Amino acid sequence: MSKGFYARLRDDRGDDDALAACVERVVNQLQDTSTSNDRPGMLLGKIQSGKTRGFVGVIARAFDREFDIAVILTKGTKTLSAQTVARLTNDFRQFIDEDEFLVFDIKQPPGKLTKSEQRRKLVIVSKKQADNLRRLLQFFDTDYPDLKRKNILLVDDEADLASIRFVPSKDGNDIEQGKIAEQIDSLRRMVARLAYLQVTATPYSLYLQPDDYTEESYVFKPKKPAFTQILPIHSGYVGGDDYFIPHDRNDPRSYLFIPVPSSEQDALRKPDQRRIRENLVLESPNTVNLVRAIVTFILAVCIRRWQQEDSGERKKKYAMVIHNNTQTKAHAWQYQIIEWVIKAIETAALNSPNTLNPIFDAAYADLATSIKADKGRIPSSEQALKMFTEALQGQDVVMETVNKDNDVMALLDEKAELKLRTPFNIFVGGSILDRGITIPNLISFYYGRNPKTMQADTVLQHSRMYGNRDRRDLAVTRFLTSQKVFNRLYTINEFENALREAFENGSHDRGVVFIQSDSKRKVRPCAPNKVLLSNVVAIKANGFYLPTGFDTIGGRAMTKTQQELEALIPKEAINKKNFVEIQLGQVVKILDLIEKTLEIPTDDFEWDAMKGLIDYYSDVRDPKDGKVQFLAETGRRLDRYASGDKSGLSILGTGLRELITATGRTKPAFILLQQEGSKELHWSGGQKFWWPILAAPSSVEPCVFATKVAKTS
């Protein structure tokens, strides 16, 4: 007996046991469970974690069973739709060549299907766009009505807010059924049987659909999928926790992030030779980090290929992405600047090494530090400079622009990934780079997108540095963006982790709390569909919330405020390493005073969120007495330059961390750490100050505090 489709596909791809088991579970549940647009099955992965590989396996296994047709919905870009067809054609090549499968885009069918073609397994790709879906309905209803009797698997790829059923109507007053969801319902009513599978890394849409939500309810329970299967994450996956969870300095991941001034990224947005000139491109303050990124990338590739040759491995090609704008004019300007940079460093290497040496030496020292943390080998500086110079002289650094003005399909290889032509590939682009295009061996990402509103699902799609990466490449990988954008990405990663954890451990059955403060600063419920995902504070059980990256005031105002705080802070709570209980009102007074002493960059911290979360945990969730567990510790000496750990773990220290995260704590914990704020430690105020930290109870639903919400009529 011949092998089934998935068995052959698995042999061809080498799927491991965990993925094969996941595929089998999904197909079993698609057969045994009734699914719909309201209650889909869900395959939950992470950004760039192999979700396409997972659902391709599901399609093959479903075709082994009762299913005859798979319809795949992709995001609404021609590039991604074409890429999906190319990827499916590549994966199903053996079945297509044997006339067992037919794969096509609904807007580009292969002519009128013959009877024999209609008997094959059909894989149809459609953009999530009204015209494409109308064409899909016509395909079944008018063109080939006999196919309506077939069993159909609908795969909603990248199911996120584009798939949401409820959207604001044009007059802004009502909620109407989304057109896409309506068309999917029409297809389901039209055919004999349709199973619906959402494939997503951003499950927010389930939380943002107002179904039975009431304004009096704090806990919002999302529409529950018919089933949820977690896609296994392979060992080579690199994701948000690698980039945004703080790591010790002996971990190479602690060197990934390089802050870039917003002024530099702004100078790259439109042509202006008063800010950036060809003859000064290596010295301009508006190109310092771009130059650093390019030099470090070229050197990093040289070092990795040296390491690979040294250990007898195949030498790889690598990629760098510059994603600073969506406008094509900006891409042309950035391309021009990169040409200037490469020409300048090539000329310097040949004619004036003294000009190049400081830039090269800084890049070498930077990479040497992270490679040492990774316990890797590195060539000598002289060897590295020779390889670096040869790469430039050989003109091996290739640049490509990836935007709507280009034929992006021409830049893709047979796997529908960006083609790496040489060892050194620099891609400059905009939105097209967001939409699922896989960029292999990406080790440098210069990111300057900074919209006023950062939607979480969209920003995560920008994260092209995520994915299946050789973890040894992390030692030479760099992510360059502004501190402000990094902080926002950190917040989005925390939000994503809080919701994902709820899905993975099943606690989403208990719901998620959405709250905000009213005009009197009292906490109240917030309708989840009104949350702006770029303006949230998310906290999970035993999670921390605290200000970071701030500075302090000084002078008489600081002295007076510290005296007022001394009178408010209970003496029995200081340096005892035990909690005492204090009233919520006392905590709020303390926070109001501390707020006057800290200078925090805009949008980096929300005082109302800290107060609102404490209010919710102490009084609303547990309305018995409205008390908070409290402790204080003095004698801390942290340099301001090391104060950016937004997780709070290193700032608390091991002893307090173990005390605070112990299980069984039902009340919020409010912790004050008195810092020696001297100028020697780079604090401007020069005086001691109190640093506040909130720790959520150890067993609570994920809580989302909305700092801003969508306007309503």
Question: Considering only 51-60, 113-122, 617-626, which range has the smallest mean pLDDT?
Answer: 617-626
- Helix (H) or strand (E) segment spanning residue 486: helix 483-504
Residues 40-61: tens digit of each pLDDT: 888 988 877 888 899 999 999 9
SS3 608: helix
Residue 578, classified by CB atoms within 10 Å of its CB into exposed (0-12), middle (13-18) or buried (19+), is exposed
C-alpha to C-alpha distances, 20 to 7, 61, 204, nearest whole angstrom: 9, 10, 27
Map residue 196 onto helix, strand or coil: strand
Q: Which residue has the higher pLDDT, 67 or 241?
A: 67
Indicate the pLDDT class of residue 93, thresholds 50, 70 and 90.
Answer: very high
Q: What is the mean pLDDT of residues 195-215?
A: 71
Distance (Å, rounded) from C-alpha 659 to C-alpha 636?
17
At residue 548, what is the residue type? Answer: T
Span 157-187, pLDDT tens digits? 877 644 444 444 444 433 334 677 788 888 8
Q: What is the pLDDT of residue 507?
A: 64
Could you give the dihedral angle defined by the CA atoms of residues 281, 284, 290 and 292, in that order, rounded to the nearest 10 degrees? 90
Q: Could you give the percent of the chain with pLDDT greater than 70?
A: 86
DSSP structure class, residue 314: P
What percent of the chain has a predicted confidence (pLDDT) above 90? 45
With 60 as the cut, is the pLDDT of residue 379 above it? yes
Q: Which residues contact 21 (CB under 8 A, 6 or more apart)?
A: none
The predicted pLDDT at position 709 comes to: 74
pLDDT band at 213 (very low <50, low <70, confident <90, very high): low
Structural domains of the chain ordered from first start: 5-230 (3.40.50.300), 249-489 (no CATH), 542-697 (no CATH)
pLDDT digit string, tens, across residues 536-549: 888 888 889 999 98
Quote the pLDDT of residue 47: 77
Strand 703-706 to 219-220 pairing:
unpaired
Q: Where do we find the tokens 């682009």?
A: 429
Assess whether pLDDT exceeds 60 at residue 455: no
Question: Which pLDDT does position 259 carry in this prediction?
Answer: 92
Which residue in this structure is represented by tokens 């090549």?
Answer: 93
645-668: pLDDT as tens digits: 888 888 888 888 888 887 778 889
CB 486 within 8 A of CB 453: no
C-alpha 582/C-alpha 589 separation (Å) is 12
Rounded Cα–Cα distance for residues 572 and 347 (Å): 68
Percent of residues in the chain assigned helix, strand, coil, to nearest 5: 45, 20, 35
Contacts for 375 with CB less than 8 Å, ≥ 6 apart: none
Give the pLDDT score at 166. Answer: 41
Residue 244 has pLDDT above 80, yes or no: yes
Cα gap 538→535, rounded to integer Å? 10
571: buried, middle or exposed (CB in 10 Å: 19+, 13-18, 0-12)?
exposed
What average pLDDT does this structure show over 438-461? 71
Which one, of 374, 211, 363, lies nearest residue 291 by Cα? 363
Q: How far is CA 640 from CA 402, 544, 554, 633, 650, in A?
A: 40, 19, 15, 18, 13
